[in-house]
């Protein structure tokens, strides 16, 4: 692909780069599809099957990394290599969801690499840490990476595989499927608003010790109790916007109105 075919990189303005991600005929994200994709449903179908195949491939033969930005990029590139020409590339535009801006592209590396450093320094890659402490640290690092939102699309799926590798190294399991989509939206939205408590509570349910034979059963029971107690807040968050773990296509309303939040949490 020649440089002129990469308008999301070569555009002189934010607006030009934003439009460069899109097919000018349909307004949908550019893909590697040979056949025309003209509806969001077709895009979802084209994307989901290919990404799921690559996800299974990754789980069968995972590659290792240092949990830094290149590691995250490699996971995204693997998952989306059959779908988008910009797979594995850091986005070149600002994005927002639910009225909340993610970090500007130029801050992504600082935040993700800072999160990786804290993952190592706090001992999350070493088995034996108390599960409650580990899940609390996970909430902080997950929110960091989610705020960075490095890619134009596919952040949630990439983050899950990334943190699954963190969990495996630390002797833990993250049971992503015990929470509903609405719960994921609610806790992620609250965290990006500055309230990490719902996210910590969620991970206290989702994270178990890898060697615990009854872990999944207890996780499901705890999730049901959490779901019942937080249903009103979940409905409110669903109406407001989206959060981590939600697979979403960024349409025109994803354009940023203001710069994303600043991060100053990596000074220790």
For 231-260, the DSSP string reads HHHHHHHHHH---TT------GGGS-SS--
Question: How confident is the prediction along the chain (268 residues), in pLDDT tens digits per residue?
Answer: 544 689 999 999 999 999 999 999 999 999 999 999 999 999 999 999 999 999 999 999 999 999 999 999 999 999 999 999 999 999 999 998 877 889 999 999 999 999 999 999 999 999 999 999 999 999 999 999 999 999 999 999 999 999 999 999 999 999 998 888 888 888 998 999 999 999 999 999 899 998 776 666 666 666 666 666 655 444 444 333 322 232 332 333 355 443 333 333 333 3
The structure's pTM equals 0.81
C-beta contacts of 155-161 below 8 A and 24+ residues apart: 155/244, 156/244, 156/245, 156/246, 156/247, 156/248, 157/51, 157/55, 157/79, 157/247, 158/72, 158/75, 158/76, 158/79, 159/72, 159/244, 159/245, 160/245, 161/55, 161/58, 161/75, 161/79
> Within 10 A of 210 (CB to CB), how many other CB atoms are there?
13
The CATH code belonging to domain 17-247 is 1.10.3290.10
Phi and psi at residue 74, to the nearest 5°: -65, -40
Torsion of CA 75, 140, 256, 159, to 10 degrees: 20
**What pLDDT was estimated at residue 218?**
64
**What pLDDT was estimated at residue 125?**
97
**How many CA atoms lie within 13 Å of 28's alpha carbon, on the beta-carbon side?**
18
- The whole-angstrom separation of Cα 120 and Cα 134 is 12
H helix runs in 94-152, sequence order: 108-121, 131-148
- The whole-angstrom separation of Cα 227 and Cα 240 is 18
- The whole-angstrom separation of Cα 133 and Cα 125 is 13
- The whole-angstrom separation of Cα 69 and Cα 77 is 12
**What pLDDT was estimated at residue 252?**
36
CB 145 within 8 A of CB 112: yes
Question: Where are the chain's structural domains?
Answer: 17-247
- The whole-angstrom separation of Cα 176 and Cα 242 is 17
């Amino acid at each position: 692909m020649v440089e002129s075919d990469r308008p999301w990189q070569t555009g002189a303005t934010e607006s030009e780069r934003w439009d460069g991600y899109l097919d000018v005929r349909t307004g949908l994200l550019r893909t590697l599809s040979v056949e025309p994709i003209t509806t969001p449903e077709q895009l979802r179908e084209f994307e989901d099957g290919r990404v799921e195949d690559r996800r299974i491939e990754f789980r069968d033969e995972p590659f290792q990394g240092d949990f830094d930005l290149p590691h995250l990029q490699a996971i995204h590139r693997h998952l989306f290599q059959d779908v988008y020409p910009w797979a594995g590339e850091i986005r070149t535009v600002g994005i927002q969801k639910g009225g909340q801006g993610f970090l500007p592209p130029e801050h992504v590396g600082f935040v993700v690499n800072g999160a990786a450093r804290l993952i190592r320094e706090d001992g999350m890659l070493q088995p034996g840490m108390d599960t409650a402490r580990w899940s609390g640290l996970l909430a902080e690092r997950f929110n960091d990476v989610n705020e960075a939102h490095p890619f134009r699309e596919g952040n949630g799926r990439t983050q899950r595989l990334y943190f699954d590798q963190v969990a495996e190294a630390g002797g833990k399991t993250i049971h992503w499927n015990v929470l509903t989509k609405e719960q994921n939206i609610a806790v992620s939205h609250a965290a990006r608003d500055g309230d990490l408590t719902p996210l910590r509570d969620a991970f206290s349910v989702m994270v178990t010790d890898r060697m615990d034979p009854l872990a999944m059963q207890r996780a499901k029971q705890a999730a049901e109790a959490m779901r019942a107690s937080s249903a009103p807040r979940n409905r409110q968050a669903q109406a407001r916007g989206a959060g981590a773990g939600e697979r979403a296509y960024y349409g025109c309303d994803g354009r940023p109105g203001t710069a994303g939040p600043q991060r100053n949490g990596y000074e220790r």
